[in-house]
Structure 1
Amino acid sequence: MDNDVDKFYRELPKVELHAHLNGSVSFQTMEKLIARKKHLGIERSMTAIRNDQRRTLDECFQVFKVIHQLVDTEEDILMVAKDVIREFADDGVRYLELRSTPREEKNTGLTKTKYVETILEAIQQCKNEGVDIDVRFLVAVDRRNGTEVAIETVKLAEEFMLTTDGLVVGVDLSGDPTVGHGRDLFPALEKAKNGGLKLALHLSEVPSQLEESELLLNLPPDRIGHGTFLHPEVGGSQILVDKVVKNNIPLELCLTSNVVGQTVPCYSKHHFQYWYHLGHPSVICTDDKGVFCTDLSHEYQLAASTFGLSHEAIWKLSQEAIDCTFAPETLKQQLKQKWNELRPHVCQ
């Protein structure tokens, strides 16, 4: 983790909208998990990628497989989720949308329903313990698992949306972008949208997905994860950009993740600049703070230093992220009030 982050970025109230639970597990929590499961022979270096390292997307997904071996019981999930929530709160994040794919583990008796219930229990426990953060949950559809599993996952999300008093707000489409095709998942995503769930879709994460991106933009999604290759300067198309702009779909942008994962050559060429100059809603996020050894304060400072953004511009970016959340309108207003109250202290 970068300890050279300026006080302004640490104290800045922040919104995190693209955080995969298992990818957000910190060094400290990993140490606890590894100590619990010494028989697996997993070392800390196998669960994270430093900023000065470059990895292919495939290598990044291999890291997740290792983490999944360490997180396979209700007890693990509860600890991991609570630690992740507390760490985001400690970093000044005041609203968080976590996402994770429901998993079952026959060896430990973990079911997909229990998986989600345990994460929701962690959210509730943190709230009861007075952790200063509002947390919501997105149920993730892993694209490699195909149509049938996607529909099952959406049904699970719908059940939880109706029974959790607003904690489950939407569905995320994620997983290895080189596997499967959006057309196979379209029926499940359409079902989710028609059922009142919000959609946050990983889109154009790798090149040559023009057809899939155009298809999924027809839903349309409520937010886009990455959107790295949407615009024409990097092999996308003006048609895709026009659809995104017409529907005013916010983008979740993750600088370190994209550079370390080699979908973007360097920070100065990150597509944040394209969308920001267009005046399009763009939210800075971490993606996987544990795997990529970062946090949201660092990502904001990185954006500021790379693209020459003032404290005023960064504050505006942070505050405008509230409108991109899947929170109910009443909570959005409360968050805006909180930002207004904190502004004199942070921007002194």
Structure 2
Amino acid sequence: MDNVADDFYRELPKVELHAHLNGSVSFQTMEKVMKRKPHLNIEHHMTAIGKGQRRSLDECFQVFKVIHQLVDTQEDILMVATDVIKEFAADGVKYLELRSTPREETKTGLNKKNYVETVIGAIQQCKEEGVDIDVRFLVAIDRRNGSEVAMETVKLAEDFMLSADGLVVGLDLSGDPTVGHGKDLLPALQRAKNGGLKLSLHLSEVASQLEESELLLGLPPDRIGHGTFLHPDVGGSQSLVDKVTKNNIPIELCLTSNIKGQTVPCYSQHHFKYWYQLGHPSVICTDDKGVFSTDLSQEYQLAAATFGLDQQAVWALSKQAIDCIFAPEALKQQLRQKWTELQPRVLK
């Protein structure tokens, strides 16, 4: 872990809405997986980006390829997902939306259906063990896999939305933003939306996506991942900003991820400031807590230190995130109640 957050940030109840399962695997869990598979000769520096290190976006995606080599059976996925959920809970996260692209591994017999079933099994197992966190799952479309696979993924998500006790709530669009174009994925995304799945789309993650962002905002999505280059100061446009604000689309902001992936030059120039000053719904997230050696408490503390937020402002930011979750209103009410009960103890 790069830094250890102060007690206030640890005790702060938090909502995590942008967490990729394979990117959230901690050093400790990686150690367990590596011990099972010594023949792969994978070392820790190949699965995480440490303090002071930066990587190009392309190099970040290479890290995921290494993690996928390690996590390639149902047994691995169950262990990894269970550990990730418990670690978020230990960090004070009360509600978590995990996201992951269903994968097939011919050599281990893993298929997309049992991939999703295994993640859902991990969520249910943690609940049965009394872990203090509510977890939901977003099935992810990897944009690199094209329109046909995207449509298959939507159908899979629809099946699980109906059969998994409300644990599958939406769809994520992610993957290397420099590959492919959103227009090819529009039919799949439109079908998902029409079928009742919530949409969280990675948008304007790199500077060359103006046209695609205009197109995808026309859906519109229910939340935006990153949105790094939406606003005019960084090469976006007022038209994009207007679409986001008019539809009140929350933005999932991942500070350390953007710094280490070099899409933002430094914390003080992070677009959190732009959206926060607008009063627009902004949710602090980790993206990949394992790969980027962080956790949600650290991300809140970094935002507070960088942008001068006092404890009241941080509390308000954390509580406002409840409005942005994809679970039903009844659960939002339960979470608000939890925040109310914890407030006297945390905000001293």
**Which AA in structure 2 matches 1:48?**
A
CA contact 2:23–2:64 (8 Å) conserved in 1: yes
Q: How does 1:260-271 map to 2 (within 5 A)?
A: 260-271=260-271
1:2 deviates by 3.9
Residues 64-91 of structure 1: CA distance to partner in whole angstroms, max 9, x if unpaired? 0000000000000000000000000000
CA contact 1:51–1:256 (8 Å) conserved in 2: no
Look up the match of 1:294.
294
**Which AA in structure 1 matches 2:198?**
K
Quote the Cα distance in structure 2 between the aligned partners of 1:58 and 1:292: 14
**Which AA in structure 1 matches 2:141?**
V
- Percent identity over paired residues: 80
Quote the Cα distance in structure 2 between the aligned partners of 1:41 and 1:337: 48
Aligned length: 348
**Which AA in structure 2 matches 1:225?**
G
1:4 deviates by 3.2
Query: TM-score, normalised to structure 2's length?
Result: 1.00
Q: How does 1:322-341 map to 2 (within 5 A)?
A: 322-341=322-341
1:327 deviates by 1.1
| 4+ residue runs over 4 A deviation | none
Quote the Cα distance in structure 1 between the aligned partners of 2:240 and 2:326: 23
Quote the Cα distance in structure 1 between the aligned partners of 2:196 and 2:306: 38
Query: TM-score, normalised to structure 1's length?
Result: 1.00
Look up the match of 2:206.
206
Specify every segment of 5 or more residues in structure 1 that has no aligned partner in the other structure, as ranges.
none
Q: How does 1:115-194 map to 2 (within 5 A)?
A: 115-194=115-194
> What SS is found at the alignment partner of 2:51?
coil
Q: Does residue 86 of structure 2 align to residue 81 of structure 1?
A: no
Look up the match of 1:307.
307
**Which AA in structure 2 matches 1:18?**
H
Q: Does residue 15 of structure 2 align to residue 45 of structure 1?
A: no
CA contact 1:177–1:205 (8 Å) conserved in 2: yes
Q: How does 1:46-125 map to 2 (within 5 A)?
A: 46-125=46-125
1:51 deviates by 3.1
> What SS is found at the alignment partner of 2:185?
helix
> What SS is found at the alignment partner of 2:126?
helix
Quote the Cα distance in structure 2 between the aligned partners of 1:281 and 1:4: 27
Residues 108-130 of structure 1: CA distance to partner in whole angstroms, max 9, x if unpaired? 00010000000000000000000
Residues 240-266 of structure 1: CA distance to partner in whole angstroms, max 9, x if unpaired? 000000000000000000000000000
Look up the match of 2:195.
195
Residues 167-213 of structure 1: CA distance to partner in whole angstroms, max 9, x if unpaired? 00000000000000000000000000000000000000000211000
CA contact 1:18–1:99 (8 Å) conserved in 2: yes
Look up the match of 2:225.
225
